Structure 1
Amino acid sequence: HTTVCLLLLNTFVVICCSWSVQDQESDRITYLPGQPENIAFNQYSGYVTVNHTAGRALFYWLTEASVDSVPDSRPLLLWLNGGPGCSSIAYGAAEEIGPFRINSNGKTLYLNSYSWNKLVNLLFLESPAGVGYSYSNTSSDLYTAGDRRTAEDSYAFLVSWFEKFPKYKHRDFYIAGESYAGHYVPQLSQIIYERNKGIQNPVINFKGFMVGNAVTDDYHDYIGTFEYWWTHGLISDSTYKSLRITCELGSSTHPSSDCLRALKLADGEMGKIDPYSIYTLPCNTSTSSSFRRRLRGYYPWMWRAYDPCTETYSTIYFNLPEVQKALHANVTKISYSWETCSNVIGDNWADSPLSMLPIYQELIAGGIRIWVFSGDTDSVVPMTATRYSIDALKLPTIKKWYPWYDNGEV
């Protein structure tokens, strides 16, 4: 009987592993249309169902670390973009930290010299369902998305994804993101941290998170953003005073008509700038400085996503049928085109806590590593907002302020 039981056990394990490997291999990207030749890393992409009842499935794209950096020894990093309602494929992968950039023809790619997959295995996730290629078979989901469900679905994604890619189980795991992912990242981190408690060797071996120019605390974000606009000469003294008086600093929802008028004045005074890099010439085709675009989404002062010309290239590229086939994307043939951001989701965002600082405090007390970084030319979620939020934590200063050098330059 013992021998039979062992044989059955061995058979079960073999079946389990072969299913996992087979399922993983079906997501392998053999070649992306227009990609450079002889790339030195493996890629996978596809779907993970996170709610079978509603039919919600999230799309991911894994770009493993370069072969010469020994990917099997490198950590796994999950990257999330914000909005809410914007694609991590459009921004994180194609514009920020991913291995490829899209050429102006919208059909070919070139390598990003600063890709993070030179050091880590990069996992991009389009979340929540309805963003990018991610979908739901329940149409009402697009009108009821919010922080809480996004975090739970992202956790469900990770649990299933690690079964599909078992070699990443117990690997050092980090989460990172920017803008409204300043909510997604700590909220998902909190769920993992709390559900890992009491587990000696957790499958999701969570080590810490990073956020950049992150939406953190409504009160400090308002103060810091308006102050940045004023101190950088983007708005007048009178408009700055009007913003401080008319906009309720403790809440980003339902701004008053007086606050909206002040925001419109600020928009007109700024003119056509690149709000994410105020000293950079904006793209000639960019519409990011329009008042309509600045006000869409949950936060009344916030542009929904970075809008350089490459956003146009992304829209062309990721709607190409041959690209979708190579990515194993749009398998359900959804009725709308792939978009960099979903207005439906962003305009109907259901829940958003006023502050992430309580989560920071919980995770800091639990020994989780946190790195907050902030670019100083971003006027959307600016450095001043970040500094006010971090100061509110009243943490002790271990190392004094010092210049950061890159190749000898500050």
Structure 2
Amino acid sequence: MTTDSCLLPGLISVEQARDQLMQAIPPLRETETLPLEQACGRVLSAPVKARLDLPPSDNSAMDGYALCGESGEPYRLLGKSLAGHPFSGSLKAGECVRITTGAVLPAGADRVVMQEQAELRENTLIPQAETKAGDHIRRCGEDVRAGQVLIDSGRALKVPEIALLAAAGVREVTVLRRVRAALLSVGDELRPLETPPSELGDGDIYDSNRIALKAALAQLDLEVIDLGCLPDEPAAIRDALVQARDRADIVVTSGGVSVGEADFTRRVLEELGQLDLWRLAIKPGKPFAFGRLPRDKGETLFFGLPGNPVSALVTLYQLVLPALEKLKGIAAENRGTFFQGRARLLNPIRKAPGRTDYQRGYTYRDSDGLQVVRSTGIQGSHILSGFAEANCFVVLSRESGNCETGDWVTIEPFQKPLT
């Protein structure tokens, strides 16, 4: 069977779907200024410059003694330079001071000898190792120069960058505002978690997708607006979507956007705006909806995820997450990519060509240091127990078929929000 004959007609590849989302989504523009300690995870809207040199002065990289020149004789000890309490004088040839790590290098000093390599006899220091100019000295500005751009716009701040900015004297930064995400469920069969199992009727299920999606979105530094669970009633659905449109940048739902008799969500969405239904070449998660709800200024984006719980989380991860990074204003070169590696398969996997398959797996290094992976339980789109045990996807290409024990396969370790 050729590769082309394996591809099911009418299905959009995962890559095509991502590209279409990227082309359709404009980044946010509204900004706010925050104290630096509140800005972790936020996306810079303007470059940030250093306010001073780092280090701000020449200082010692070691506990030891600051020496003036190379002396064939013992050095005369004049005093000490401590962090926050520099030596006030200057050194001449053959003179030294006691110095601690980070303390300012005295005028005239050109090298530092470690305390382990020197012997002090009263006020006389005898180096026990050869020294040369520049030894164990951190030079002023060797890390950062005043006025230098430290971090450019379009980057989400992480802890190391917060540390850099703080050291360079930056007190506050201008960032893009948080994305506001509205979340809702629709379905007469859905019940809140407060309902005792004994009170569930025939066909009733807990509203678990909304809870899982809310937990996932909360990890992505979004402002989540939970609009709850709605019955299959057009008026209630319309009111909720109007609220979402007016309060949020995106709306996320799971299920309820197909061609079924009671799928009123689709009808209401098409009344309020534009809706595209995509059949994706992905497993699990073939049905996916993307739409726009126009408002007075701009538009609210709609993501309709599949109703099966594993499918909803897989499509959120593979499609909505990259789209959110663009919406947040993260520059293309700074957006996260799905890290992929290779692992040896510990069990056979059955797969038919036609869709890219994201099977749930558990990967680790075996006793020989080899990266291996095994499937976690039944791979149905409704099976959550295997997903809960997994720490990666086993990514099987659209064209591939069955895999056997010992085959090398592509793995994609989980990142936020699945970690």
Specify the TM-score bucket, using the shorter chain as the normaliser.
under 0.3
- TM-score, normalised to structure 2, is 0.23
- TM-score, normalised to structure 1, is 0.23
Q: Which has the higher helix share?
A: 1
Q: Which has the higher strand share?
A: 2
If you compute each CA radius of gyration, which structure gives the higher value, 1 or 2? 2
